[in-house]
Amino acid sequence: MVTAQLERLQKVLAHAGVASRRACETLIEQGQVSVNGRIVTELGVKVDPLRDVITVDGERIARPVKEALYILLNKPRNVLSTVGDERGRKTVLDLVDLPERVYPVGRLDQQSEGLILLTNDGDLTQRLTHPRHHVEKEYHVLVSGRPTTPTMARWREGGIVVDGRPVGPAQVERMKYEGSDTWLRIILTEGRKRQIREVAKTLGHRVRMLRRVRLGPIRLGNLKPGAWRYLTAREVQQLLAAAGK
């Protein structure tokens, strides 16, 4: 569970531009400040600036603007890309230690691994996950057997029905062979549930390993499984541009 971020009342007032911190302390001591309708005169009181209603002489102060967070996580296998699980299984939020609530952008199924973005920017999430914005998602996929040239062509053209609807075209190319199996590079602009696994199964090739390595301009790089980092300012700008923001 993500707990509220509590701060001293005089600090919140000062950050809101009411006055200097020392002057805000005086306002509190003089009984001019209320929190959720109750007058506060003690300097040690802590408040949640995002949720509490704070007033000075009856005038409500502005809430701070929520900082937008953009996080890159390398999801390991057997971790769910959801915010919670009623059966108590580990989720991606168990891997990051943040006071602010963030949400995964899209999903990777439990047995898949690789790049997951976590953010509190709901508009960006919608843009990145909606197929009309054509944001590319790149995967490295190990499949059983060696897909033939006609099979690869069938995969590329799309039209195979997944979850009751035909999928769109995809970029599919061989990377290398691993014994009797084949590594493929697959690039999609949609993200239907278990799409790659279902298409591969229909074409007679079981997915043995699936790793997402890129979302738009953001690459997984050498981030280790279970590790995470903040996107750089440059990466954020590139991502926003790719999503049309």
Any idea what the Cα angle at residue 219 is, between residues 218 and 225, rounded to 5°? Answer: 125
> Which of 48, 52, 94, 109 is labelled catalytic?
109
The beta-carbon contacts of 199-204 under 8 Å, at least 24 apart in sequence, are 199/155, 199/160, 199/162, 199/167, 199/170, 200/141, 200/143, 202/160, 203/147, 203/151, 203/154, 203/155, 203/160, 204/145, 204/151
Beta strands 137-143 and 161-162, pairing class: unpaired
Strand blocks (E) in 80-179 = 103-104, 113-119, 137-143, 161-162, 165-166, 171-178
Is 109 tagged catalytic?
Answer: yes
Residue 92 has, within 13 A of its CA and on its CB side, a CA count of 30
- The CA distances from residue 85 to 80, 94, 122, in Å, are 8, 11, 21
Question: Token digits for 224?
Answer: 């280790």
Catalytic residues: 109
